[in-house]
Structure 1
Amino acid sequence: MSDSVSQDCGLDEATRRADGRLIRAMFDAVAPRYDSMNDIMSFGVHRLWKRRLRRMAGPPRGRGLALDLAGGTGDIADLMADKDWAVAVCDPSTGMIDAGRKANAGPRLRWVAGAGEALPFADRTFDVVTLGFGLRNMTDRRGALTEVLRVLVPGGTLLCLEFSTPWRLIRPAYEGYSRRMIPRLGAAVAGQPDAYRYLVDSIGAFPDQKTLAGWLRDAGFATVRYRNLFMGIAAIHSGTRPA
């Protein structure tokens, strides 16, 4: 079942939990080759997007605490730590966390297994939350946004990097590449074609930029904005917890 499953679909809690287990198992399976596949599929561009996200976070403020939610192998967290943020990397996949510990073992990173829909942190803990390519894999996306708001300090910022709806001019070529090439690469490099078919389906099912901005506002975020990247193939949404 694809990540289009969410609370908005009217599914019961048991179904959402089962769907979440399937997604975690899939990421456990692809964890050893996850970063390599991202480099191949995006021709390395995803790293430029993540650096843009880090620049938007700016220097540490408040207590200098950041949460990298759905942080996977911690590549965003590592960029944040390089700028003196103390970062908790939270991901539901223990396979991704294990791979991340091996790749990014800096002393300013703390690794925590947990789901975005029920974050294992106290209210008003973090000055910034980064969320890179993870929201679409959550079974209750709106609930996850509410959780992010809860753990942010007043005035704290969410920065959400996610695939989005590209400009109409490039959409046919982009969708053709995604549906024909990505599963083949997943089979050849990671040995997991089904996982990368899921990836393509999840991108296609994810809401466009304006819809996601509306979700942030509905969750209670203020000063909600988004910036398109590479003609809308991805976008960074930002919002703050009202002071």
Structure 2
Amino acid sequence: MDRMHLKIEASIIACVIMILLCSCNLFVTDKDKFYLDKDLNYTLSRIDIKKTGPDIVIPEKVGDRTVWRIYLADPYYSKIDSLDISNVKELESFTIKLFGMNTGTKLKKLDFSKNKKLKYIDISKTTSLKKVIFNNKCEYIYLKGTSIKSVNLKNLKELESFIYRDGPLEELDTSNNPNLESIKIADTNIKRLDVTKNPKLKYIIVDEGTQIIGPTNAQIEYNKRAE
């Protein structure tokens, strides 16, 4: 009887522990994982990676608030392995800045193709990032300190500003971007830039020695490459 009693007690204790563990997970909501800063017009500005894990899927809403702007600026986010923002249908602005070049980031790809309202993209010091898929409505793109060698801007008819700095970009085709007003590419591997199809260009920055093809009224500045 004593042995049977002990077995029953052990089973009950095990069940209680399982219930407690499950209940902890059940009570972790999106509000516990994602923080919308009301002082920044409810921008999503913090993610608790301990609760989300390194493979993060950002929800369309946090509580009753729709996510429309994401701003992640901290080396802490170098712990992110993947970032899925396909559910954020109302997203208009996306920024990630990891600071410091040796943050150990593993993020290799960002896909904005489902974010039809996204107009502003700012990605800095994300050294592992090799590919970005843009949405068609994007107007402003800033890439600095990535490992992106090529970009596809073909369908970005509304693009007004493209900036790329400190990375291995090898070529840039802007022939399908008639509304471009500013191109800034510095410390890259680009040797020539054709601006024949960019009649609205006002400002160009390229590295010294880069060949600019086509007539333009834009102001041109040459960047002295970093040693």
Task: Give the TM-score category using the shorter length.
Answer: under 0.3
What is the TM-score with the length of structure 1 in the denominator? 0.23
The structure with the largest strand share of the pair is 2
The structure with the largest helix share of the pair is 1
What is the TM-score with the length of structure 2 in the denominator? 0.24
